[in-house]
Each structure stands twice: as structure tokens, then as C-alpha cells.
Amino acid sequence: MMFTRELTRRCTISGMFAGLFAGAVGLPSPALALTESEASRLVGALVGEINAVIDSGKSESAMYRDFERIFSRYSDTSYIAAYTLGNDGRRASSAQKRAYSDAFEGYVARKYGKRFREFIGGRLEVTGVKKVKRWYEVSCVAHLRGEAPFEVTFLVSDRGGQPLFFNLYIEGINMLLTERTEVGAMLDRRRGDIDKLVADLRTAG
């Protein structure tokens, strides 16, 4: 999947530092109660719902609504939204943060829903789980018709009191870092106007 390659200097630096310091300050709090089996069950249920949607034969718009519901149910949306907005979130009002979180959830569901639509006729399969630092990494393999299998990985934590995924890799592409860069570029184009960014996200993806 091709992502936007045109990056501003600020977004590029932001992504570099996010990658360098993710292990220290950019990740969820330690998962004290979460177990390997719980992380695996969460992703198993998530994968089951994704497979059901791609096999449903629904229209594109209906599938995106389903993906948005799945994303909301299984992901740590508050953490993901805050991370992708980055330091700009410090100057946002509470209302702007709520509006951004809502708009971002729909944007991500549409964007990654388009990728999951490519799985029609195929399937996702959970293949393994392991503890990495303060979270669990649950590996899956995507089997598509006429294409070589590739890896999809979910990072799972219980920082908010329940198991949820807080990051996603598709063929090695890191969702958190990618979307932080994308959002930063969108905000730059709007000269830092968060309200205009929210308006952009409502139609983007």
C-alpha cells in the first residue's frame, strides 16, 4: 500500500523522533494484568469480524461503517488519536480534541477499510503472539487470491483497563508513525488550524 511520500520538514523530524523514542515515552503504560491468551483472543475476535465483513458482500459504504465500528470496539482510539495529533494536541481545546478523535476514527476506518477490502475472497489468520517490552505483538498472515501471503501485526495493551490494540502494521508499515506524519502534513497545509484539519479528516481516507 502506497502512502503519501511528500513530507514536510517538521513532519519528517517528528516521525524520526517518534521512532527513536517510542520505546521510552511514546507507548502505552506497562500491561500488568494482560496475558498472552487475552491478547490472542482479542485479535482472534477482531480478525473474525474483519473476515466476516469482507465475506459479507455488502456495499463499500456499508463495509466502511462496519470497519469503523470494529475499529472503535477493538482499538485504543483515545491513545491513537492523541499520538497522531502529537504536540499540536497541547494547544487544542477539549472540544477540538473530541472532534478530532471522532473525525480521525472515521478517517482511519475508511483508509484501512480500503486495504481490508482487498482481502475479499481471502482471509486473515492469527499465527502467533509474543510479549514485547510492555505490550503483546500478535502476528497474522493475510491470504489473498493470486498474491503471496503477507504479514499483518497488531500491538495489544491493557493500559486503559481492557485489552485493545494501539498500533497496526501492514506489510511492515507502522500505522501510528504513518498517520502522525500524514496528520502533521495535513495540519501544515491548513497553517496549523485544527478545526480545518478536523474538516479535512471527515472527508479524507
In whole angstroms, give the CA distance from residue 99 to residue 108. 14
pLDDT band at 205 (very low <50, low <70, confident <90, very high): low
Mean pLDDT (the chain) is 81
Tens of pLDDT, residue by residue over 66-111, are 888 888 899 998 899 999 999 999 999 999 999 999 999 888 878 8
Q: What is the pTM of this model?
A: 0.77
Which pLDDT belongs to residue 3? 35
Distance of CA 153 to the CA centre of its chain: 11
In whole angstroms, give the CA distance from residue 201 to residue 100. 8
Which pLDDT belongs to residue 174? 93
Residues 125-154 have a mean pLDDT of 90
Domains located in the chain, CATH noted:
35-203 (3.10.450.710)
Which pLDDT belongs to residue 139? 95
